[in-house]
Structure 1
Amino acid sequence: MKVTIERTALLKSLGHVHRVVERRTTIPILSNVLLSAGGGGLQLKATDLDLEVTETAPADVGRPGATTLPAHVLYEIVRKLPDGAQVSLETGEDGGQLQLRSGRSRFSLQALPESDFPDLAAGDMAHSFKLGAGELKRLLDKTQFAISNEETRYYLNGVFLHVAETDGQSLLRAVATDGHRLARLETPAPAGAAGMPGVIVPRKAVAEVQKLIEDPEAEITIELSPAKIRFTLGAVVLTSKLIDGSFPDYARVIPTSNDKFLTVERKDFSDAVDRVSTISSERGRAVKLSISAGKLVLSVTNPDSGSAVEELEVDYDGAPLEIGFNARYLIEIASQLESDTTLFKMNDSGSPTIILDREGASALYVLMPMRV
């Protein structure tokens, strides 16, 4: 293999693919990135056996071929080369070493044969549709914070994507929950999404897609089968295994009879929660909301450090109510909302509360109360 490529193009492609490579792995080939030089340029591929990212970069191919190199080492070398440099990559006859040349720099890198590199992308994708990059990023950004970290409940370790029919309209929904809070965002289902299986996209794949979306105006092709999902963003293709499990019937935990409505200025509320929770215990993190006509009192009591109280003017005309929540969860949900005001739909101190921008908003959050 012999190929010459601009340092900027190589660094950009390596930046996209090398993140997938685990720094600690017992399988040496998984530490490497696969470089394949051919008519289309230089293709780079990395995988951790659950997730695979490929990207093709424009390059001058002198001799087609393929090899694998340590991903993080190669990324660091290219990152430290000067801007505008040309990078030459060439393997010898035996393929065991690759010579990297750029200006006066010379590196001889240990290579592993490409025949050892695993291929995750094999298989037929039965469903395919296109979605705006900005819309997909919004679906993931607004829900991923609620993904569970509990490995025992592996079926909650991702974002559930599925199509739902509501009032005669097809909606593409993203849902995540950790049992304490639930995030649900929906957008009109794109053409081709009807009939797709409900799939759970793993946390790592969600994070990589979020990082890969650089142009919100671009269009992303999404293909999926019951076991895998593939995102194509221009020259980048990300393929991921799906979580093999059943997502719980989340609709059952979204209350339908909450009749106490509280409207509050979003930023004022979030800042107040942040202030009073300063003295809460790291373990408890509970803040009490005492709600009455036109008034909300936030309070925290910590036997070890004291107490804090803050009062806010609100729009509320229901019966007085006291309810407790995890302060961090309240702040995280508030940060996902987009309007200046936040609507809380409550029932009683022991029932889940709905939080949203306004009635009928596309983003809906459910938060379980805490005892205070």
Structure 2
Amino acid sequence: MKFVVSSTELLSHLNAISKVISSKNTLPILDNYLFQLEDNRLTVTASDLESTLITSLELDNAEGKGDIAVPAKLLNDTLKEFPDQPLTFKFDLETFGIDIYSDNGKFSIVGQDGDEFPQLPELNEASASTIQVPHDVLQSGIQRTLFATADDELRPVMNGIFMELGSDDLTFVASDAHKLVRYKRADAKAEVESSFILPKKPAALLKNLLLKEDYDVKLQFDEKNAFFNLSNYKLICRLVEGNYPAYNSVIPTNNQNKLTVDRLEFYNTIKRVSVFANQASNLIKFHIQDNQLVISAQDVDFSISAVERIKCQYEGEEIEIGFKSTFLLEILSNITSSEVRVELSDPTRAGLLLPAEKDFDEEDVLMLLMPMMINA
């Protein structure tokens, strides 16, 4: 079995799928790529059991067919050192010896039996759902929500993005119980209403792959796994089991206090003032009255404090409320509009942060942050 391939093209594909490989694999075979050659097509698979990434390349020059496991780190480290040039790979499927020929040399490594690589999960056709999702919708949905997912061993359902497919829109939700993001897109719909929880790691892998994608993504899922088919890649991942919390019930609806402020000025002010906040709590206080927002922080232990005022448009009663600055900065950095709208009801209920203007009509972004006790 042999083939010729461009060093940079192969490395580009391997770099994209190598991120799925865990540094602490329970099976030694998972430290390898699975190379499969058939009919001038090379298919390369990487997996950590929970998630599997598959890529394929069309080859002009190939002989034979078969599969073999190739050490991933060694191959990546080798390919990085080559300038762009054709490389010839020769495989001995009896001894699992691999020879790589360049313009000026030969490099020999030892692979493993490809049959030892775990079998791919198969879609349960009887219970499966299929939808074509625009690549930009999927990329935006993951990008806007991924930062709000939790790392909670006791509640694994919070450790992923809840994807809700409806007849009117596609909704992405993430929350860590302190902050919540709901991102809706009316330009993506499903014929049958369904939902699943996409784990954090495959979501992050998918986000990077979608940046290079130009076509709709075919999404299929059953009760255990999701299959994302891109033009050059396929991602298979095990879904998070369990029911996602009823997130709509925590979104306050009667918010009579409404503030509109320049997002960048708001962000930079919070960043400066938060330097003076208590390092354990990161508490900053807002005092809003008469089109003026006063942001303050203090650390009693070190006798330091900071106060800054910024102008805003405000409708509502005088209010004082506290938030964790690190969460607030995360949320503001994930809103793209030039102005942000903050809706508050009282100091004990969650505050909503919304873009003052949408990037486009089909988009609906809502970010929620729980307040902190000011006198704690």
| TM-score when normalising by structure 2 | 0.93
Q: In the alignment, what sits opposite 1:222?
A: 219
Match of 1:340 among 325, 338, 341: 338
Q: In the alignment, what sits opposite 1:75?
A: 76
RMSD over aligned CA atoms reads 1.6
Q: In the alignment, what sits opposite 1:330?
A: 328
Q: Which amino acid aligns with 2:139?
A: K
CA contact (8 A) 1:294 1:314 kept: yes
Q: In the alignment, what sits opposite 1:155?
A: 157
Matched, 1:300 2:302: no
Match of 1:180 among 178, 181, 188: 178
Q: Which amino acid aligns with 2:170?
A: L
Q: Which runs of 4+ in 1 moved over 6 A?
A: none
Q: In the alignment, what sits opposite 2:243?
A: 246
Partners of 1:293 and 1:353 in 2: CA distance: 19
Change in 2 beyond 3 A, CA 1:173/1:253: same
Partners of 1:36 and 1:95 in 2: CA distance: 16
Match of 2:308 among 306, 310, 318: 310
Shift of 1:127: 1.6
Partners of 2:369 and 2:274 in 1: CA distance: 17
Q: In the alignment, what sits opposite 1:112?
A: 112
Partners of 2:145 and 2:181 in 1: CA distance: 5
CA contact (8 A) 2:354 2:367 kept: yes
- Unaligned regions of 5+ residues in structure 2, if any? none
Shift of 1:54: 0.6
Count of residue pairs the alignment pairs up = 366
Shift of 1:215: 3.4
More moved, 207-216 vs 244-253: 207-216
Query: What are the within-5 Å matches in structure 2 for residues 234-273 of structure 1?
Result: 234-273=231-270
Q: In the alignment, what sits opposite 1:47?
A: 47
Change in 2 beyond 3 A, CA 1:203/1:269: same
Shift of 1:308: 0.4
Q: Which string of whole-angstrom CA distances, capped at 9 and with x for unpartnered residues, describes residues 248-302 of structure 1?
A: 0001100111111111111110100000001223321111000111110000010
The DSSP-based 3-state class of the residue aligned with 1:143 is: helix
Change in 2 beyond 3 A, CA 1:248/1:93: closer
CA contact (8 A) 1:129 1:190 kept: no
Q: Which string of whole-angstrom CA distances, capped at 9 and with x for unpartnered residues, describes residues 37-67 of structure 1?
A: 1114111001101101111112221121210
Change in 2 beyond 3 A, CA 1:234/1:216: closer
Q: In the alignment, what sits opposite 1:358?
A: 356
Partners of 1:317 and 1:106 in 2: CA distance: 73
The DSSP-based 3-state class of the residue aligned with 1:152 is: coil
The DSSP-based 3-state class of the residue aligned with 1:69 is: strand
Partners of 2:166 and 2:323 in 1: CA distance: 30
Q: Which amino acid aligns with 2:315?
A: D
Partners of 1:43 and 1:366 in 2: CA distance: 43
CA contact (8 A) 2:343 2:353 kept: yes
The DSSP-based 3-state class of the residue aligned with 2:112 is: coil
Change in 2 beyond 3 A, CA 1:77/1:319: same
CA contact (8 A) 2:33 2:45 kept: yes
The DSSP-based 3-state class of the residue aligned with 2:13 is: helix
Q: In the alignment, what sits opposite 2:98?
A: 98
What is the percentage of aligned positions where both structures have the same residue?
A: 28
Shift of 1:162: 0.7
Shift of 1:140: 0.6
Match of 1:280 among 277, 291, 303: 277
Partners of 2:212 and 2:20 in 1: CA distance: 21
Q: Which string of whole-angstrom CA distances, capped at 9 and with x for unpartnered residues, describes residues 288-320 of structure 1?
A: 000111110000010133000000111113111
The DSSP-based 3-state class of the residue aligned with 1:24 is: coil
Shift of 1:216: 5.6
Shift of 1:164: 4.2
Match of 1:213 among 205, 210, 215: 210
The DSSP-based 3-state class of the residue aligned with 1:136 is: helix
Shift of 1:114: 0.8
Partners of 2:356 and 2:122 in 1: CA distance: 44
Partners of 1:17 and 1:163 in 2: CA distance: 27
The DSSP-based 3-state class of the residue aligned with 2:108 is: strand
The DSSP-based 3-state class of the residue aligned with 1:251 is: helix
Shift of 1:224: 1.2
Change in 2 beyond 3 A, CA 1:184/1:43: same
CA contact (8 A) 2:139 2:211 kept: no
Shift of 1:5: 1.0
- Unaligned regions of 5+ residues in structure 1, if any? none
Partners of 1:357 and 1:62 in 2: CA distance: 56
